[in-house]
Amino acid sequence: RACIPGRKQRKTQVKHDKRRCKRRKRIEIMFGRLKDWRRVATRYDRCPRTFFPAITLAAIVIYWL
């Protein structure tokens, strides 16, 4: 199913789910904010055991700001 609305110039409009589109946008914004953190964006921690806590810490700080 389509999640993103089509352009206005499109002849045949595609039905999309506004709720799914809104949720997708929130997730994309969160990933964009996480990429502002250099440590997460360049993935200095290659091991998942140390990378996941870095993401968690960044998400907590972003949430509180």
The 10s digit of each residue's pLDDT in 5-46 is: 778 888 888 788 888 888 888 888 888 888 888 877 777 777
pTM here is: 0.58
User: Quick one: pLDDT band at residue 1, thresholds 50, 70, 90?
Assistant: low
From first CA to last CA, the distance across the chain in angstroms is 34
- Measured CA to CA, the distance from residue 29 to residue 40 in angstroms comes to 15
Query: Could you tell me the CA-to-CA distances from 57 to 7, 39, 64 in Å, in that order?
Result: 38, 11, 11
* Per-residue pLDDT at 62: 83
- The per-residue pLDDT for 40 is 77
Do 39 and 51 contact (CB within 8 A), yes or no? no
CA distances from 12 to 18, 21, 25 (A): 18, 19, 24
